[in-house]
Amino acid sequence: MDIVKEVLEKQQQNLQKYKPITVEKTLEPKIDVGHMMVSDPNYFNDEEMKADREKYVLDLTRDNVQLLINSIWQLPTERVEESIVAKLPPPKAPLPRARKLPVPKPLTKWEEFAKKKGIKKRTRDKKVFDPVLDKWVPTYGYQRYKAEKEKDWVLEVPQNDPNRDMFKEKRDLRIERVAKNEVARMKNIARAKKIATPRTGFVGPESASAKQLITASNIAKASTASVGVFQESLPKDKQARGIGVKELLPGEKRKKKISTIAGEKRRNMEIVTKVLNKKPKIDIDRAISLQKSEARAEREADEGGDDGSRKKKKSGKKSKTFSRKKPKGGQGKRNPNKRAVGRKRR
């Protein structure tokens, strides 16, 4: 009997660890299954909160999560790859977005052309068989470059030119092709963001159009000190349609404003009014100093007239007075190159 009693008590203790799935509350919580959110309007129990705060919050959270799980199990379910999945309904509570709605990615120039012409994207195989190497090689990626290097281990030099490096030319073409793709990618980004790009900037004359070459020629003419006035024209030279030399200068607008008689008359009147209403600038400090100097001169003239009657003029020749310069000492400096004059003391 003791063994049976111990087993029953142990089972009862294990059952106490697991709480029932039914939860009873005074006010029914609001459950939004679409957002998987529960809003509990019931008040906190202050006594239980003060007694053991962590346990009370943990039990309260467990009850609310149990209500949410019960609501989810009431939804229609289906099996997807050995898993039971419930389809959530649309959310009830409107929540603000942290970021703006994503906009569709703008199409590139090639994608617009392909869409217009109905060209569909063709999927390429990851690997193709190379009969020269007699193995499967990737169609793109760094492994493709290694396969090409292994395949083209020797290259033919045209006309047996010893100064021509075909490996370097092949590498330069590859670098130029990568740079051209990068320029095209940046132009697509600039066009999508509506950023003005330079009219020139082509990779080379092989890939440039006739309009780009004419525009570049006109810009080169306008880059001189005379803004292309004294620049000699090339034979059969053509200007870009609607583009002159002066219009290519930065800050110049292609369409100039048409001047009207009323506008010209108004500008002339503004100039005349500005000239006539121009007042001379007065230097107050200079005027005060001039007045002081004139007053001082008058005062000295009056004092000189009174003293002149008292003094008598001296007649006769003035005695000559001789004066000599004060000798300067060596100040502790001696010039060894200078020769001493006079008797040498011993």
Identify the weakest region by mean pLDDT among 121-130, 173-182, 326-335: 326-335
Q: Where are the alpha helices (DSSP H) in the chain?
A: 2-17, 46-51, 53-73, 109-117, 142-151, 166-192, 210-221, 261-276, 284-310
Amino acid at 252: E
Q: Please check the confidence at residue 212 and state whether its pLDDT lies above 60.
A: yes
Instruction: Calculate mean pLDDT across residues 208-232.
Output: 75
pLDDT above 70 (res 255): no
123 assigned to some structural domain: no
Q: Taking a C-beta distance cutoff of 8 angstroms, is the pair 245, 225 a contact?
A: no
Lowest mean pLDDT of 41-50, 107-116, 264-273, 297-306, name the range: 297-306
How many Cα neighbours within 13 Å face the side chain of 8? 5
Share of the chain above pLDDT 70, in %: 75
* 31 falls within a domain: yes
Nearest Cα neighbor of 200 from 243, 163, 170, 234 is: 243
How does the average pLDDT of the chain come out, rounded? 78
Handedness of CA 257, 262, 268, 272 (dihedral sign): negative
pLDDT band at residue 320 under the 50/70/90 scheme: low
pTM here is 0.31
pLDDT at 312 over 50: no
Q: How many domains does the chain have?
A: 1
Within a domain: residue 103?
Answer: no
* 255 in any annotated domain: no
Inside any domain, residue 74: yes
pLDDT band at 198 (very low <50, low <70, confident <90, very high): low
What's residue 65's pLDDT?
92
Structural domain for 67, as ranges: 14-86
Contacts of 166 (CB under 8 A, 6+ apart): 155, 156, 157
Q: Which range has the top average pLDDT, 49-53, 192-196, 323-327, 337-341?
A: 49-53
User: For residue 232, is it within any domain?
Assistant: no
